[in-house]
């Protein structure tokens, strides 16, 4: 048993984030033959966990999930940070690098409060603060009312139980990681596209820390890493932010990635969808898909997208 931990892993303190950190530690210890004490978990309360009564776009965007961990990592207080990749800003500091992506879990959303989108009662209130979910829902069911709810998995389930909404959405992967695999109705991700990078756990290190990057590389899942890189490259091409209604789904087979994506107007009235197939090492193809989507989109959609390469 080492006197000092070999790795200090930073993580948000929420129950789901801790579950993801435990999974990362298990995989590292199994891969290297370490005792559990070799990997120390260092929790932090992220800004995004402190403010839960307003949409992320109003209070600082995705950086609220990573800000504290970024500082600790750059300062050397931790060696690596565990993230839900869908919550990580598209453009990261040069000093940091995504060193590993764990095998991706179920990419689907689950619907709580009804058996399907069709089964949601006429005029019901559906709780979500995600622009993608809101726009996709209103595109299919313009009769529904979207009400904003935020918080961790338990908080949102409690708000639904308290009647703050008639239905809501949660990521299947998060529910599964918390042992809530029987909760909600799974929505087919081919029909209800998930968020870019949904269901992926990423581990970030300092770019120049070769020791840590080498230790993390052994748990990197190449297929999942390629999918996440493609979806994040699409976000870069779209100039997407946490306020941009973007949905995406990728699959890799025999070295080829199929990337499907849709962008929306916030009210769901306009949906632009397209897909592209390309070699897994082609980082230009997702940008081409982004250009095609934006080229077909009217101003009521494109004004919700920012600077693009």
- Report the catalytic residues: 87
The dihedral sign for the CA sequence 74, 80, 86, 90: positive
Question: Checking DSSP bridges between strand 201-206 and strand 80-84, what pairing results, if any?
Answer: antiparallel
Token pair belonging to 18: 């801790």
Tokens of 187: 């929505």
* Cα gap 25→76, rounded to integer Å: 19
For residue 98, give both structure tokens: 């995504």
End-to-end CA distance of the chain: 48
Distance separating alpha carbons of residues 296 and 123, to the nearest angstrom: 31
1 by Cβ neighbours in 10 Å (0-12 / 13-18 / 19+) ranks as: exposed
């Amino acid at each position: 048993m080492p006197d000092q931990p070999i790795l200090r892993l930073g993580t948000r303190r929420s129950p789901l984030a801790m579950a993801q950190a435990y999974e990362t530690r298990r995989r590292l210890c199994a891969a290297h033959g370490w005792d559990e004490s070799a990997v120390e978990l260092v929790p932090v309360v992220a800004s995004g966990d402190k403010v839960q009564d307003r949409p992320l776009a109003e209070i600082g965007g995705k950086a609220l999930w990573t800000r504290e961990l970024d500082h600790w990592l750059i300062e050397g207080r931790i060696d690596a940070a565990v993230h839900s990749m869908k919550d990580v800003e598209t453009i990261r500091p040069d000093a940091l690098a995504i060193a590993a992506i764990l095998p991706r879990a179920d990419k689907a959303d689950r619907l709580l409060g009804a058996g399907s989108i069709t089964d949601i009662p006429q005029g019901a209130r559906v709780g979500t603060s995600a622009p993608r979910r809101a726009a996709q829902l209103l595109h299919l069911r313009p009769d529904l009312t979207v009400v904003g709810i935020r918080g961790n998995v338990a908080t949102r389930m409690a708000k639904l139980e308290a009647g703050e909404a008639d239905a809501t959405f949660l990521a299947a992967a998060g529910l599964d990681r918390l042992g809530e695999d029987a909760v909600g109705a799974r929505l087919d991700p081919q029909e209800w596209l998930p968020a870019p990078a949904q269901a992926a756990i990423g581990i970030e290190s300092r770019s120049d820390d070769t020791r840590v990057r080498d230790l993390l590389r052994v748990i990197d899942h190449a297929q999942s890493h390629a999918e996440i890189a493609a979806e994040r490259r699409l976000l870069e091409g779209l100039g997407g932010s946490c306020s941009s209604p973007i949905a995406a789904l990728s699959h890799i087979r025999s070295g080829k990635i199929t990337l499907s994506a849709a962008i929306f107007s916030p009210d769901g009235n306009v949906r632009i969808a397209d897909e592209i197939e390309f070699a897994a090492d082609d980082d230009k193809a997702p940008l081409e898909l982004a250009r095609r989507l934006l080229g077909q989109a009217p101003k009521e959609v494109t004004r919700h997208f920012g600077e693009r390469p």
